[in-house]
Amino acid sequence: MNSPKVVASHDPAAKLAVRRVSFGDSPVQLGPMTHLAAEQERLAALRWEHFDAVRLGTTIGAELRGVDLTAALAEPVVAEIRAALDAYKVVFFREQPLSAPQHVAFARRFGELEIHPFIPPNPDQPELVRFEKRADVGGYENAWHHDVTWREVPSMGAVLHAIQVPPIGGDTLFADMYAAYEGLPDTVLARIDGLTATHDFIQAFGGQVPEDQRAEMRARYPQVTHPVVCTHETTGRRHLYVNRNFVARLDGLPGDEGAALLDLLCRQADYPEYQCRFRWEPDSVAFWDNRAAQHYAASDYWPASRTMERASIVGTRPRA
């Protein structure tokens, strides 16, 4: 039998040492994410006084070990958790049997808490949104998004506590929106510089509003405009701030052109190189920066049950 002829003299990626290329006519790119190297090196050098940090992703996510969130934490510990959040974009804690009041008390150390008008709360603690999934209530948070961008002042961050988790599945993924922005081609960066987007609660939560209350809710939560690229108020770094759940349109662009650009920007969260993935256990806690990170709750556990509670911390109005 004749052996097939091999015409290759080098690895197909030999020319991609420092650049990425488009995959055919699609918006997807292949090649090394070289822009992640500096952030990876910076995070590797961090050391903490009050806990140990075990990183999950290249530039996003770390499990903080040695902190008891059920206790009254000293201010230096809270300040260091805040610094770790700024660095890792999302931090995780294991074995934290928080009561609802303890959950609220911990989250409140980082700012005022918001009340969500469209998701039922813990019956005794209105600051806690309760996500209670079971065979007759499926998970639908499996889309990349920042929370509540339909608010004029969206949340700065959120603290999510796992109460009941399925034996397998139901992980939450997080994507680094600094990396997503910095990895865009120069031509796209130029297009989105100064661009704004209109955000609206209707497309995600319109079905939650009774017809006789729609006018009231629309008056209370009108469409809002935020920059497509925001500057983080603490780190000073620029990040993408658009998502399919709540963005109604990119302002000033024709429908098809705006939709195509929005799709391209939202697809940036899809790259695994920008992500970390967290496997929940009972009493695990995730605390994410709702500006620097997007999240995606995998809906792969039906008909098992998954019950979580979230406290969201009020932020400031996004700025370019």
Q: Residue 151: CB partners within 8 Å, gap ≥ 6?
A: 114, 221, 224
Structure confidence by residue, pLDDT tens digits, 271-285: 999 999 999 999 999
- How many Å apart are CA 258 and CA 246, to the nearest integer? 15
Let me know: does 243 contact 188? Beta carbons within 8 Å: no
Structure confidence by residue, pLDDT tens digits, 97-153: 999 999 999 999 999 999 999 989 999 999 999 999 999 998 889 999 999 999 999
| Average pLDDT value for residue range 4-16 | 68
Of the residues 116, 239, 295, 306, which is catalytic? 295
Query: Is 145 a catalytic site residue?
Result: yes
Q: How many CB atoms within 10 Å of residue 83? A: 13
**Alpha carbons within 13 A on the beta-carbon side of 269:** 25
Structure confidence by residue, pLDDT tens digits, 28-45: 888 889 999 999 999 999
Q: Both tokens of residue 18?
A: 């420092």
Structure confidence by residue, pLDDT tens digits, 77-91: 999 999 999 999 999
Query: Is 147 a catalytic site residue?
Result: yes
Residue 108 main-chain phi, psi, to 5 deg:
-70, -15
Of the residues 145, 146, 161, 226, which is catalytic? 145
- How many Å apart are CA 47 and CA 21, to the nearest integer? 36
Of the residues 146, 147, 199, 239, which is catalytic? 147
Structure confidence by residue, pLDDT tens digits, 233-242: 999 999 999 9
Percent of all residues in the chain with a pLDDT value above 90, rounded to a whole number:
83
* SS3 assignment, position 54: strand
User: Can you count the helices (H) and strands (E) in the chain?
Assistant: 8, 18
Q: Are strands 293-297 and 172-176 parallel, antiparallel or unpaired?
A: antiparallel
- Which domains are delineated in the chain? 40-314 (3.60.130.10)
Q: For residue 18, is pLDDT > 70?
A: no
For residue 13, the model assigns a pLDDT of 65
Let me know: does 288 contact 315? Beta carbons within 8 Å: no
Q: Both tokens of residue 185?
A: 């081609």
